[in-house]
Structures are given as structure tokens and as C-alpha cells.
């Protein structure tokens, strides 16, 4: 029977796993050729690196991996590079953020979602991806591969072998380690030598100094680089090895500290948090010291909220923080003020999404927070509160799915995808079948990518795999 909604008049194959093209209204905009996230701060320096990387991708290189320690600027460099070369690829440039993922089996699904490929029942996501990309001229950006290195390497290898028009740009703390990979170590920002006493006009030509000044002006508009404070600024940048994230965290303190005070406090924390491990990258040691130093400047309540925020995955709302983090030492009415202070101190990022402020921790800052949360002994309680909050959210969303308010509620559910997955994971780890079953039932409308992979051996002993779920038959198989 003809299908009037399809351009050809024929019904599309049920399990094609491909995008369905619908006719656009006259005068409508063409579909975007990228999904690159917009940046709210300026990009300082790196002109030589951008030019070099453009040349690398222009030749026969099909897999380019930017490597370096956490905070060295891999992600931002990849984003700027990708933005500059969008028009070089007929089918665009597509960004895949892997940091929120914890399960290797979710990597193909994340890539499929980014490029707009619909999952097909009964077909593996990587197979559907290969079928979709084999004729495309496209750049795929895989950001933050290090914690899923094997899965990223396997998928990249499979796609590159079968999709001749595909190129991949990856960021990772270690190479993917597959054939044809070009490994490019992200260098630190340019720095003056320790003995360089150049005039201020010359010092600002160094990228690290320029970045510090720009970020300092953003929080303290009256800040100026002078002959008096320039040696202290230079010393901070030198001790931080020109790592962008470390410098930005230091510059944010100019709102309440002088450059001389920042320099002296940084020295103290470097001695306290430094490690002599031969295996640890020196820049990683410095970044850890910088985050620890920033943490040390927080009040007791700020430190408490900071570590508790690390329980969230992929971001969070004020409502979630007020419900999950108002335990001992923090009252609900204190949360907004404390969260605002953490935003001011550049430990929490904020952006507007669907007319609501949404917060997140940088990956490396979140890792540090999780270490502190583990040391505090609060993690079990926080994870339980987190799971119950997102269970209640899922149960609020579920009855709205078939209502006139479906769109906003689905948007809210999509924004909390990673938190919902974390809540499901907690229910399995703690063998809390009540939470797990209620959450699975409330999420029956969600794609199966939210749920554990059916080949996960832990499913065989989990109550979730043996207890019938009437509302969602087969949801775990």
C-alpha cells in the first residue's frame, strides 16, 4: 500500500537502520552539516598547531589522535579544528562526546546517535553505522576516548576499513593503537623562559600569559598586566607548564587574590599534592596540584557540595542538587548560594538549556571530586539519593509521554540520559530490585541504549534479569 508520508510513495524498510528523508517545506533551511558545540570563551593561540593539523588531515591520514594529559587542551583544539574544516567534508563533521559513558558497548550507539542513524531492531549498532557511513564523505570526532580505549579502537578500525570516505579525529590521553593512526601530542601553550624579564608588551605574545590575562579580565575587568605583577603571572604559568585548564583555574582567582598571592598559594599546594611516581606524566601531576589547590581555597561547605556534585553524570539541574546534596552540613536553602560560588570559582560550568540553567563539572575536576567523595565516606548515601531522585523524575515523565506536553518532558528526559543510566547501574550494583524494576518500567519508552547491554554477564545474576516486567516485555533481552 502506498505510503503518502514518504517521498517515493512506498513504505520504507522496517529494519533499514537508516535516516528517513522527509520533504522539506519550501524555503526551509537545509539540514545542518555538523553538531559541533558552541563555545562561550575565546580561543587563545594555537595558530601554528591548527595549520599543522589541517595539513595532516588534508593528506592521506584517516585517523588523527590528539593525545596529552588531562587539561592540556585536546578537546578545545579538536573543536576549533573541526569548526574550521566543516566545509571540507561533503557530509559534514559530527561530534561524539564520550566522557559521560561508562560502558564500552555504548560507544557505537553514541556514534550512531551523533550522526543521526536510527537503531534497527535485531541489528548491532556498529553494523548499522557501517552501512550508513560507507558512502559518506565525513569527519567523525571522538572526544575523550581514554576510559573506553578498546571499544573506541575497535569501532574506529572497523569503520575505517569499510568506509573509504570517512576520517576520524580522536582525543585521548593515550593512542588508540590501531593501524594507520597518526598520533599528535598536544603541546603546552608557549611560555617565557624562567629568566625572561621582557617588557609587558612582549610577554603578552606568549600564549600562556595571554590566556591568563584574558581569563583574569573575564572575572576581574580591572585586571591589567603590569611590570609589577607580570613576574608573578609568568611564574604561575611556568609552574603550571602552560596547561590551559590549569591556567584558567588560576586566573579565575584574580577576582579575590593578587597575582603574587596566587603564585605563593600555588607553590604551597604543589608541594602538598605533587607525586614522585615515575609513571605519572609531569603535566598530569601539575594539573592535579592545580585542582587540589583550587579545592583548598573553598570553604568547608563549598568543599562538601563540590565533592557531592561528582555523583551526577553528564550534568545536573539546581532542582537535582537541592534534592540530592542537602545532607549533613548543607541545608536546601544554602544550595543555590554555594553552587553560585562554585560557578564563580570555575569549578562548575553553567549553560542555558531549554530556558533552564544546567551545570556540569569538567571531566578532570569531576574525577578529583569523586576521589574526595570516596574519601569522605558519603558516596553510598549520595548514590542512593541520586537513584531515588531520578526514579521519581522518570515516574513524573512517563505519564506525560502521550500528553500534549510530550515535547518538553521528553527533552527533560533526554537531558538526564546519563543520570538515568547511572541510577539503573546503581540499582544493579546494590541489587535494589524495587528501584531497578520501577525505573525500567518508567523508562519503557526510552531506547534500549539506556539499559545494560544484554551480553553483560552481571545480568545473569541480577534480579532484574529474572523478574518479569509486564509493562516492558523483553526490555533486558
- The domain in which residue 272 lies consists of 200-296
How many other CB atoms are found less than 10 A from the CB of residue 267? 15
Domain boundary (156, 185, 214) is at 185
pLDDT at 93 over 60: yes
- Is pLDDT above 50 for 51? yes
The continuous run of DSSP H or E covering 79 comes out as helix 74-84
Domain end (from 145, 160, 185): 185
Query: How deeply is 44 buried, as exposed, middle or buried, from its count of CB atoms within 10 A (0-12, 13-18, 19+)?
Result: buried
Residue 430 has pLDDT above 50, yes or no: yes
- Is 14 contained in some domain? no
Element (H, E) at 65: strand 63-67
Helix residue ranges per DSSP H, 86-186:
107-115, 125-133, 149-162
Is it the case that residue 470 has pLDDT exceeding 50? no
Q: In 3D, which of 48, 332, 84 has the Cα closest to residue 187?
A: 48
Q: How many other CB atoms are found less than 10 A from the CB of residue 161?
A: 13
pLDDT on residue 153: 96
Asked if the model's pLDDT at residue 77 lies above 90, the reply is yes
- The answer on 153 and 123 residing in a single domain is yes
Q: 61 and 171 share a domain?
A: yes
pLDDT at 468: 31
Q: Is 417 within a domain?
A: yes
The answer on pLDDT for 64 being more than 60 is yes
Looking at the fold, whether 275 and 337 belong to one and the same domain comes out as no
Considering the domain architecture, whether residues 396 and 362 belong to the same structural domain is answered as no
- pLDDT band of residue 26 (cuts 50, 70, 90) is very low
What's the whole-model pTM score?
Answer: 0.64
- Per-residue cell: 397: 515523565
Q: Cβ(98)–Cβ(142) under 8 Å?
A: yes
Q: How many CA atoms lie within 13 A of 348 on its CB side?
A: 30
419's grid cell: 543520570
Q: Write the burial class of residue 242 (CB in 10 Å: 0-12 exposed, 13-18 middle, 19+ buried).
A: buried
For residue 283, tell me if it sits in a domain.
yes
The full DSSP string for 310-334 is TT-SS-B-HHHHHHHS-STT--GGG
Mean pLDDT is highest, among 14-18, 73-77, 399-403, for 73-77
Residue 446 has a pLDDT of: 57
The three grid cell numbers given for residue 353, joined into one nine-digit string: 538549556
Domain identity same for 372 and 252: no
Identify whether 34 is part of a domain: no
Q: Which of these ranges, 8-12, 193-197, 355-359, has the smallest mean pLDDT?
A: 8-12
Claim to verify: residue 217 and residue 290 sit in the same structural domain: yes
Structural domains counted in the chain: 4
Which three cell numbers, joined as nine digits, stand for 440?
525500567
Region 417-441 average pLDDT: 83
Q: Does the pLDDT at position 19 exceed 90?
A: no
Q: Look up the CATH number of the domain holding residue 325.
A: 1.10.10.10
Judged by average pLDDT, the poorest of 133-137, 153-157, 234-238, 404-408 is: 404-408
Please give the pLDDT value at position 49: 93
Closest CA to 203 of 262, 251, 195: 195
- The values of phi and psi at residue 416, to 5°, are -100, 20
- Do 181 and 51 share a structural domain? yes
Main-chain dihedrals φ then ψ at residue 413, nearest 5 degrees: -65, -40
Q: CB atoms < 10 A from the CB of 157, how many?
A: 18
Q: How far apart are CA 219 and CA 254, in angstroms?
A: 7
Average pLDDT over residues 435-458: 59
Q: What percent of the chain has pLDDT over 70?
A: 80
CA-CA distance, 254 to 256, in Å (whole number)? Answer: 5
pLDDT of residue 466 exceeding 70, the answer is no
| Closest to 318 (Cα-Cα) out of 352, 294, 346, 295 | 352
pLDDT interval class at 196 (50, 70, 90): low
Q: Which of 236, 261, 296 is the last residue of a domain?
A: 296
Residues 56 and 179 in one domain: yes
334: exposed, middle or buried (Cβ count in 10 Å: 0-12, 13-18, 19+): middle
Is 176 domain-assigned? yes
Say what the pLDDT of residue 242 is.
86
Cα distance between residue 55 and residue 78, in whole Å = 14
175-184, 234-243, 400-409: least confidently modelled range: 400-409
Domain CATH code at residue 162: 3.40.50.300
Give 66's strand partners.
171, 184
Cell (9 digits) for 301: 561547605
Asked whether residue 244 is assigned to any structural domain, the reply reads: yes
Polymer length in residues for the chain:
477
204 and 287 housed in the same domain: yes
User: Is 274 a domain residue?
Assistant: yes
How far apart are the C-alpha atoms of 393 and 387, rounded to whole Å?
10
Same domain, 164 and 212: no
Same domain, 373 and 383: no
Q: What is the grid cell recorded at 210? A: 595571554
Q: What's the pLDDT at 291?
A: 78
Q: Is 270's pLDDT higher than 60?
A: no
Domain assignment present for residue 2? The answer is no
Q: Give which of 82, 130, 76 is closest to 108, Cα–Cα.
A: 130
Same domain, 228 and 325: no
Res. 290 pLDDT band, cuts 50 70 90: low
Going through 313-453 in order, the beta strands assigned E by DSSP cover 349-353, 356-360
- Examine the pLDDT at 223 and tell me if it is beyond 70: yes
**C-alpha dihedral, 203 to 209 to 211 to 217, nearest 10°:** -80
More confident residue, 317 or 31: 317
Q: Reduced to 3 states, what is the DSSP secondary structure of residue 209? A: helix
245 with 364: CB under 8 angstroms? yes
pLDDT top residue among 120 and 360: 360
How far apart (Å, rounded) are the C-alpha atoms in residues 239 and 274?
A: 12
Confidence (pLDDT) at 265: 81
Task: Please compute the mean of the pLDDT values over residues 96-110 and round it to a whole number.
Answer: 90
Amino acid at each position: 500500500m502506498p505510503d503518502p508520508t514518504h517521498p517515493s510513495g512506498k513504505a520504507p524498510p522496517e529494519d533499514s537502520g537508516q535516516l528517513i528523508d522527509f520533504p522539506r517545506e519550501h524555503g526551509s533551511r537545509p539540514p545542518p552539516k555538523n553538531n559541533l558545540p558552541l563555545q562561550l570563551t575565546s580561543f587563545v593561540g594555537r595558530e601554528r598547531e591548527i595549520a599543522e593539523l589541517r595539513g595532516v588531515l588534508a593528506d592521506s591520514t584517516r585517523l588523527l589522535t590528539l593525545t596529552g594529559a588531562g587539561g592540556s587542551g585536546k578537546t578545545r583544539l579538536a573543536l576549533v579544528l573541526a569548526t574550521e574544516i566543516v566545509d571540507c567534508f561533503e557530509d559534514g563533521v559530527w561530534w561524539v562526546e564520550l566522557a559521560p559513558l561508562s560502558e564500552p558497548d555504548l560507544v557505537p550507539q553514541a556514534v550512531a546517535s551523533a550522526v543521526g542513524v536510527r537503531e534497527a531492531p535485531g541489528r548491532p549498532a556498529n553494523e548499522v553505522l557501517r552501512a550508513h557511513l560507507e558512502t559518506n564523505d565525513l569527519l567523525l570526532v571522538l572526544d575523550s576516548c581514554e576510559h573506553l580505549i578498546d571499544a573506541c579502537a575497535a569501532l574506529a578500525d572497523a569503520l575505517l576499513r569499510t568506509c573509504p570516505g570517512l576520517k576520524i579525529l580522536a582525543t585521548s590521553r593515550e593512542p588508540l593503537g590501531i593501524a594507520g593512526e597518526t598520533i599528535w601530542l598536544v603541546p603546552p601553550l608557549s611560555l617565557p623562559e624562567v629568566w625572561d624579564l621582557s617588557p609587558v608588551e612582549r610577554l603578552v605574545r606568549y600564549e600562556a600569559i595571554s590566556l591568563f590575562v584574558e581569563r583574569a579580565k573575564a572575572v576581574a575587568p580591572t585586571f591589567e598586566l603590569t611590570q609589577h605583577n607580570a613576574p608573578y603571572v609568568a611564574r604561575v604559568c611556568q609552574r603550571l607548564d602552560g596547561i590551559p585548564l590549569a591556567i584558567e583555574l588560576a586566573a579565575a582567582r584574580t577576582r579575590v587574590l593578587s597575582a603574587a598571592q596566587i603564585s605563593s598559594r600555588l607553590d604551597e599546594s604543589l608541594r602538598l599534592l605533587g607525586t614522585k611516581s615515575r609513571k605519572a606524566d609531569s603535566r598530569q601531576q601539575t594539573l592535579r596540584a592545580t585542582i587540589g589547590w583550587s579545592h583548598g581555597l573553598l570553604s568547608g561547605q563549598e568543599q562538601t557540595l563540590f565533592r557531592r556534585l561528582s555523583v551526577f553524570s553528564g550534568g545536573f539541574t539546581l532542582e537535582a542538587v537541592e534534592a540530592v546534596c542537602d545532607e549533613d552540613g548543607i541545608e536546601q536553602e544554602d544550595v543555590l548560594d554555594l553552587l553560585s560560588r562554585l560557578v564563580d570559582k570555575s569549578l562548575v560550568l553553567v549553560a542555558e538549556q531549554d530556558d533552564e540553567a544546567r551545570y556540569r563539572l569538567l571531566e578532570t575536576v569531576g574525577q578529583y571530586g569523586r576521589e574526595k567523595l570516596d574519601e569522605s565516606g558519603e558516596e553510598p548515601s549520595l548514590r542512593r539519593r541520586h537513584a531515588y531522585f531520578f526514579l521519581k523524575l522518570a515516574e513524573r515523565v512517563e505519564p506525560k509521554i502521550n500528553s500534549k506536553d510530550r515535547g518538553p518532558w521528553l527533552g527533560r528526559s533526554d537531558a538526564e540520559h546519563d543520570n538515568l543510566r547511572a541510577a539503573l547501574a546503581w540499582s544493579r550494583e546494590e541489587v535494589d530490585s524495587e528501584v531497578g524494576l520501577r525505573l525500567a518500567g518508567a523508562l519503557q519508552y526510552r531506547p534500549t541504549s539506556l539499559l545494560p547491554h544484554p551480553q553483560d554477564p552481571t545480568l545473569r545474576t541480577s534480579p532484574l534479569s529474572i523478574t518479569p516486567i509486564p509493562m516492558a516485555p523483553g526490555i533486558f533481552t
